[in-house]
C-alpha cells in the first residue's frame, strides 16, 4: 500500500511531497536510488486503527530514525509521543467500529524534525486539554491524562488544525547533534 501527501501546518504549506516508504525487514541495506531518495529526509506511512499496529509504528520509527540519523534520545521521545498519540486516537477518536487509516509524516529539516499525524476521527484538540495535577505519590495518581502532558512537554512546538473532516496534529522536535 502506498500513500502520497503534502506536509503542511495549517496556514504554512511546507511544500514537501512525501511517499510511503515500506519497512524493510532484516538488515538495512539500501540500493543507491533509495539512499538518494532519503537525502530529502522525509518519511511517510499510514497505519490501520488497531492497537496491534503499535509494533508496526515502532518499526517505521526505527527505520525513519536510521535513515535520518536521528539521535537515540530524539527517537525515543518521538516514539513515546507517537505511541501515546496513536493509542489515544484509537481508544477515543472514533465513534464507529470501522477501520480507519492514520497517516504519519516525518520531515527532517536541518536541526528540526517535523512530525504530522492525521486521522478522520471526531474533532479533538489535545492542546485544549489542561495539564493534570501531578500527585506526590503513585498511589494517589489517577489513570489517564499523562500521555498528552508528556507530548506537550517533550516536543518543542505543537500545532493542531481541523481541516476537511480530519484532525491534523503537527509537532516539532529540535534534533540535538549528540545521541
pLDDT in tens, 144-153: 567 788 888 8
- If you count them, how many residues does the chain have? 179
What's the pLDDT at 21? 41
Q: Is 10 within a domain?
A: yes
Q: Is 164 within a domain?
A: yes
Q: Is 95 within a domain?
A: yes
Q: How many domains does the chain have?
A: 1
pLDDT digits (tens, 9 = 90+) for 157-169: 999 999 999 999 9
Read off the CATH number of the domain in which 32 is found: 3.30.565.10
The lowest-confidence range among 23-27, 80-84, 152-156 is 23-27
Q: Is 148 within a domain?
A: yes
Q: Is 23 within a domain?
A: yes
* Distance, CA of 67 to CA of 42 (rounded, Å): 9
* Distance, CA of 63 to CA of 40 (rounded, Å): 15
CA-to-CA dists, residue 151 to 32, 97, 114, 118, angstroms: 36, 27, 14, 16
What is this structure's pTM? 0.73
Q: Which three cell numbers stand for residue 101?
A: 487509516
Q: Is 179 within a domain?
A: no
Q: Is 125 within a domain?
A: yes
Boundaries of domain holding 11: 4-174
Between 39 and 88, residue with greater pLDDT:
88
Amino acid at each position: 500500500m502506498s500513500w502520497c501527501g503534502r506536509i503542511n501546518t495549517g496556514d504554512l504549506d511546507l511544500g514537501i511531497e512525501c511517499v510511503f516508504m515500506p519497512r524493510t525487514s532484516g538488515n538495512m541495506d539500501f540500493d543507491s536510488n533509495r539512499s538518494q531518495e532519503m537525502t530529502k529526509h522525509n518519511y511517510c506511512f499510514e497505519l490501520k486503527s488497531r492497537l496491534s499496529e503499535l509494533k508496526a509504528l515502532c518499526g517505521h520509527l526505527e527505520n525513519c530514525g536510521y535513515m535520518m540519523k536521528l539521535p537515540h534520545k530524539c527517537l525515543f521521545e518521538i516514539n513515546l509521543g507517537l505511541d501515546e498519540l496513536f493509542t489515544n486516537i484509537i481508544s477515543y477518536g472514533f465513534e464507529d467500529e470501522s477501520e480507519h487509516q492514520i497517516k504519519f509524516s516525518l520531515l527532517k529539516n536541518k536541526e528540526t524534525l517535523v512530525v504530522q499525524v492525521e486521522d478522520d476521527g471526531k474533532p479533538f484538540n489535545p492542546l485544549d486539554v489542561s495539564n493534570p495535577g501531578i500527585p506526590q505519590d503513585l498511589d494517589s495518581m489517577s489513570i489517564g491524562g499523562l500521555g498528552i502532558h508528556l507530548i506537550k512537554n517533550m516536543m518543542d512546538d505543537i500545532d493542531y488544525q481541523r481541516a476537511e473532516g480530519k484532525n491534523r496534529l503537527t509537532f516539532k522536535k529540535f534534533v540535538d547533534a549528540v545521541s
